[in-house]
Amino acid sequence: MEDRLFTFPEVAERLSVSLSFIKQLRREGKLRTVRLGRKAVRVPAAEVARLCSGKEVA
């Protein structure tokens, strides 16, 4: 899972939260993302692991 990039729906499913919550975290700067072109945005695996551990989410 080291170099993998996840879509927002994949992250929401892994964390058992809503897609809107994931988008909210990004807007608030609490979720680091990687932009792949003009529209595509992905979440690095390390960031998913951080969220799963519960560190610095709130």
In a domain, 36, yes or no: yes
Tens of pLDDT along 3-41? 899 999 999 999 999 999 999 999 999 999 999 999 999
Domain residues for the domain of 45 are 5-53
Answer whether residue 1 shows pLDDT above 50: no
H-helix or E-strand spanning residue 14: helix 8-15
In a domain? residue 28: yes
Q: What is the mean pLDDT of the chain?
A: 89
Residue 58 located in a structural domain: no
- Counting the structural domains of the chain, the total is 1
- pTM of structure: 0.82
Tokens of 47: 């960031």
Residues 38 and 40: their CA atoms lie apart, in Å, by 6
Asked if the model's pLDDT at residue 55 lies above 70, the reply is no
**Burial of residue 58 (number of CB atoms within 10 Å: 0-12, 13-18, 19+):** exposed
CA separation for the pair 13, 16 (Å, rounded):
5
Residue 41 located in a structural domain: yes
